[in-house]
């Protein structure tokens, strides 16, 4: 029964996650943290981190990771297949429609209307990850807006490095991971 639940949960996410993997993160979070309490908010932040670090599309990695946590290897297969099936069917149909009707203004209008929604979903996922990293919870705390100093320092250092020095992102990930181990063990 849990395999069917995983498949159905990620099938729904796959149907409505326009805009790619980052846009799917709020949908995945809602399903696996709120609707089905399979993971806590902190565990979900770990899912995002691990999915980001591992090769492959982030949403598929997240589905595989959640499925593994919930029901082992069969759960990983059920969640991953549930997420992939809608994309496979929809992309196949859209490719046919787009090649046939791409010059119509209504098709261009639909695409223009979906872009802002995709950006908003990506921004929502980014805000959730930032608040979890800075405050240890999904929403801003009522009592203070000052973030925890170590995550804020690591974020600022990584952002500055990526914007001005432009090192390889893998080096930044490895460096901030090592710095995180060091700083969190000291403080």
Residues 138-186 have pLDDT tens digits of 777 877 788 888 999 999 999 999 999 999 999 999 999 999 999 888 8
Distance CA 10, CA 79 (A): 6
Mean pLDDT of 97-105: 84
Distance CA 2, CA 11 (A): 14
Distance CA 112, CA 106 (A): 10
Distance CA 97, CA 4 (A): 31
Rounded mean pLDDT of the chain?
89
Say whether pLDDT at 136 is over 90.
no
Mean pLDDT of 39-56: 89
Distance CA 80, CA 10 (A): 7
Say whether pLDDT at 87 is over 80.
yes
Say whether pLDDT at 76 is over 90.
yes
Mean pLDDT of 81-107: 88
User: What confidence score (pLDDT) does residue 82 get?
Assistant: 96
- pTM, entire model: 0.61
Residue 56 is classified by DSSP as S
Say whether pLDDT at 8 is over 90.
yes
């Amino acid at each position: 029964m849990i395999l069917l639940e995983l498949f159905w949960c990620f099938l729904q996410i796959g149907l409505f996650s326009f805009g790619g993997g980052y846009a799917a993160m709020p949908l995945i979070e809602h399903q696996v943290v709120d609707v089905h309490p399979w993971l806590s908010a902190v565990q979900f932040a770990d899912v995002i981190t691990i999915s980001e670090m591992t090769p492959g599309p982030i949403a598929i990695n997240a589905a595989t990771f959640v499925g593994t946590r919930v029901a082992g290897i069969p759960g990983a297969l059920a969640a991953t297949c549930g997420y992939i099936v809608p994309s496979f069917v929809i992309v196949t149909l859209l490719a046919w429609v787009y090649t046939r009707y791409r010059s119509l203004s209504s098709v261009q209008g639909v695409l223009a209307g979906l872009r802002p929604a995709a950006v908003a979903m990506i921004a929502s996922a980014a805000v959730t990850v930032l608040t979890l990293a800075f405050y240890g919870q999904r929403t801003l705390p009522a009592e203070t807006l000052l973030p925890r100093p170590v995550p804020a320092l690591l974020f600022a250092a990584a952002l500055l490095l990526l914007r001005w020095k432009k090192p390889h992102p893998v080096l930044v990930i490895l460096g901030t991971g090592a710095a995180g181990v060091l700083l969190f063990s000291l403080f």
